[in-house]
Amino acid sequence: MGKILGIDLGTTNSVVAVMDRNGPFVVPNSVGERLTPSVVGFARSGEVLVGKKAKRGAVMNVGRTVFSIKRHMGSNYRVRIEGKEYTPQEISGMILQKLKQDAEEYFGEECDQAIITVPAYFTDAQRQATKDAGEIAGLNVRRIIDEPTAAALAYGLDKKADQTIMVYDLGGGTFDVSIIEVISGVFKVLAISGNTHLGGDDFDNRIVQHLIAEFKEMYGVDLSSDPIAMQRLKEAAEEAKMELSEIKETQIVVEAIHMSDKGPLTLSSKLTRDQFEKLIEDLIQQTIPCMNRALEDANLKPEQIDTVLLVGGSTRIPAVRELVKKTMNKQPHRDISPEEVVALGAAVETMVLAPLDGTIEDSLAARYGKDKPVIIHITPFSLGVGIENDQFVPIIERNSTYPTEAKDVFTTTRDFQEAISFPIYEGEEPIASENTFLDMLRIEGITPAPRGVARVEVTFRLNADRILEARAEDLATGVEKKIVIEATDTRLSESEKLRMVKEARERVTAQLRQRIGESIQEQASAMLERADGLVTARPDHSMTHQVSLIADQLRAALEQGDHKKIQPILEELVHVVDQIETAGGG
């Protein structure tokens, strides 16, 4: 069995990690960096760009570059490029495919298995979409685990004392807070709260709006209607945000951002840390109710939390750290890089799935102990059914540990009713239709009787992978109906998924051919320089004319871009030049 990748598929950046004899480590990407931007660009040439290349070319590729697709996972959102629509799963699959390829190049072997992390507050639809994205990328997704739990694994496993951890995870597009009890290698999630639409993207946007207002006041020009200007502003805002985590003020300069009648106009604005913190104050304040709710659900007070762990790039902002410190009355920890800790924890979790070789096992036992980590998960949302008058009746309550099973008994609402439909929902609203619809459970063949007489038992079973099985049984006759909730109206069909997998493989093949072609061209260019140098240095050699003829053939093949022709001509030129240089003399 090959290596299992631990992948943090992030809103802004993504990270891959694996386990070795020294513990988890981050795998660098193809350009030697530890973070890969979660950005996909569609070049006009037809090439799909992923990562730094896509992000760097975004200004020139406006309208063809996709950012923060994670915020749309599990929804009906579509990206339209030149008339073709792409789902969030497909775009995320392109990012995962890039991470997979980079890992394979690093290790020199196939890496087709992974654990992928998701925000703890992700819904069933969002988790299913993430798993689909992995499959599109050619990965066997062995498990989907929560980001805060992964962070706790990376942080807490080699700590000797039992402890209760609060994980405050503020990333590029999502926010989670989890409270986790760690006792003798058992990680029990006590409470989960969060907001899947709060993060660094929102902070960047506040800076962008500030700059737009300043520019409009100074020049009377509204930049918000200019897509290229907006992309440049977003990049400048992100850079300023990061700088203000380290320094007290920064100068934002975007040259020639608008062409006026009098010539190009440049945006120049000084932004202080205090100004930035005022711009985002209401946003970071939104994390406090989530922390309080998690504490309440866990039946704990701030002083009963031993460690607060900061996760996600946005926790580098001093105002965020200060808010957490003030709310929890203790200094939060950043012992591990907040951008990398989730992927490292996912790599730790791979130990549960695949035993490492004996040497590595012994080495890890010295650090982590003999027992592998055990995680006891909870579901962040209630699961239940809709009944008469659009009422929601929870069957599995929010914050229940799973795997689990729960049941309730219902009856008919009309005389001589022979069937009952139970719409299944996920959420906390008392009005059923205001929650997330998952599927419909319908039982037929009930013995006709006056209303209120029939007794139908509905059972929900949530397995270790958080897949829900629902069953309805007429207690009088034993007639039953069972369904497995694996799909929603946003889930890809098998035919769609197969098409996307096929297209993903074709992209890999095309990229491989392109790399091979570029390599051959580089070799051919280098060989032509060598041949030309030989002809110049030894014009009287008996084989010089032959070298010139072959070199001309190689130049012609390069102009045509025909790699099948280039290779044999290149090999012939190498052979002749080697022959001359080896023989020496004339």
- Quote the CA–CA distance of 508 and 152 in Å, as a whole number: 35
Q: Most distant CA pair in the chain: distance in Å?
A: 111
Half-sphere exposure of 297 (CA within 13 A, CB side): 26
Q: What is the CB-side half-sphere exposure of residue 397 using CA atoms within 13 A?
A: 4
Is there a catalytic annotation at residue 8?
yes
What number of other Cβ atoms are within 10 A of residue 44's Cβ?
Answer: 9
Using alpha carbons, select from 202, 217, 207 the residue that is nearest to residue 250: 207
Q: Is 169 a catalytic residue?
A: yes
Q: How far apart are CA 125 and CA 196, in angstroms?
A: 13
Radius of gyration of the chain from Cα atoms?
29
CB atoms within 10 A of CB 372: 17
Q: Which residue has the tokens 């962008």?
A: 208
Neighbours of 571 (CB within 10 A): 12
Out of 90, 124, 169, 201, the active site residue is 169
All residues at 6 or more sequence positions from 209 whose CB lies less than 8 Å from its CB, including other chains: none
Query: Phi, psi at residue 576, to the nearest 5°?
Result: -65, -45
**409 token code pair:** 């008994």
Contact 171, 10 (CB under 8 A): yes
SS3 (DSSP) at 199: coil
The structure tokens listed for 341 are 């800790």
Per annotation, catalytic residue among 3, 55, 70, 100: 70
Q: At what angle do helices 227-243 and 200-219 cross, to 10 degrees?
A: 120
Please check whether residue 480 is in contact with residue 457, taking contact to mean a CB–CB distance below 8 angstroms.
no
Which position has the token pair 């004339």?
Answer: 586
Helix (H) or strand (E) holding 405: strand 404-410
- CB of 443 closer than 8 Å to CB of 419: yes
Assign 3-class secondary structure to 515-580: HHHHHHHHHHHHHHHHHHHHHHHCCCCCCHHHHHHHHHHHHHHHHHCCHHHHHHHHHHHHHHHHHH
- Number of residues written out for the chain: 586
Which residue out of 147, 426, 473, 474 is catalytically annotated?
147
User: Alpha-carbon distance 52 to 73, whole Å?
Assistant: 22
Pairing of strands 163-170, 175-183: antiparallel
Query: Can you tell me the distance from the alpha carbon of 9 to that of 346, in angstroms, rounded to the nearest whole number?
Result: 11
CA distance linking residue 254 with residue 221, whole number of Å: 15
Q: Is 92 helix (H, G, I), strand (E, B) or coil?
A: helix
**Tokens in use for 181?**
């009890």
Q: Which residues are catalytic?
A: 8, 70, 147, 169
